[in-house]
């Protein structure tokens, strides 16, 4: 006898799942080696409170201050279980500001830096920071 699906129960379970998941969360991407044997890109994605998804490059530990200019920057702590949490987020850094910011987040325990380079302008970058910073410290 085929199993019957209760749509009411299924919709209730979906709603409960949405309510229990963190609003801001990482959605890891799987990448493969590029064309002609180049290494795979270190990519991930973050889902903001708005539901929008932001693809990021994982830059740490070899990140340089110049890599953080004209981008949304996330200082991330990844625990032993692989769960990532945004520690701080910012945008619009100068090279001197980026150097200081990197030192600060390293001392605070960040073990990854994620960069999102697809913001159209400074206003869009600021909106992305707000969307991703539930419980994160915003630094400008």
- pLDDT, tens digit (0-9, with 9 covering 90-100), for 44-67: 999 999 999 999 999 877 899 999
Model pLDDT, residue 136: 47
Residues 80 and 65 sit within 8 Å (Cβ to Cβ): no
Whole-angstrom distance, CA of residue 15 vs CA of residue 18? 5
Q: How many other C-beta atoms are found inside a 10 Å radius of the C-beta of residue 61?
A: 9
Residues 76 and 84 sit within 8 Å (Cβ to Cβ): yes
Cα of 88 vs its chain's centroid, Å: 10
Task: With a cut of 80, say whether residue 37 has pLDDT above it.
Answer: no
Model pLDDT, residue 46: 95
Q: What is the pTM of this model?
A: 0.75
The ranges assigned to domains in the chain are 24-138
Cα of 42 vs its chain's centroid, Å: 12
Model pLDDT, residue 99: 96
Residues 14 and 72 sit within 8 Å (Cβ to Cβ): no
């Amino acid at each position: 006898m085929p199993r019957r699906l209760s749509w009411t129960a299924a919709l209730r379970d979906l709603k409960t799942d949405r309510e229990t998941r963190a609003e801001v969360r990482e959605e890891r991407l799987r990448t493969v080696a590029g064309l002609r044997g180049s290494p795979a890109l270190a990519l991930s994605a973050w889902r903001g409170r708005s539901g929008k998804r932001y693809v990021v490059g994982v830059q740490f530990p070899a990140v340089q201050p110049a890599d953080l200019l004209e981008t949304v920057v996330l200082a991330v702590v990844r625990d032993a279980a692989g769960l990532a949490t945004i520690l701080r987020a910012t945008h619009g850094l100068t090279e001197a500001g980026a150097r200081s910011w990197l030192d600060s987040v390293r001392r605070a325990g960040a073990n990854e830096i994620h960069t999102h380079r697809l913001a159209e302008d400074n206003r869009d970058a600021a909106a992305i920071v707000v969307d991703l910073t539930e419980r994160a410290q915003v630094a400008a």
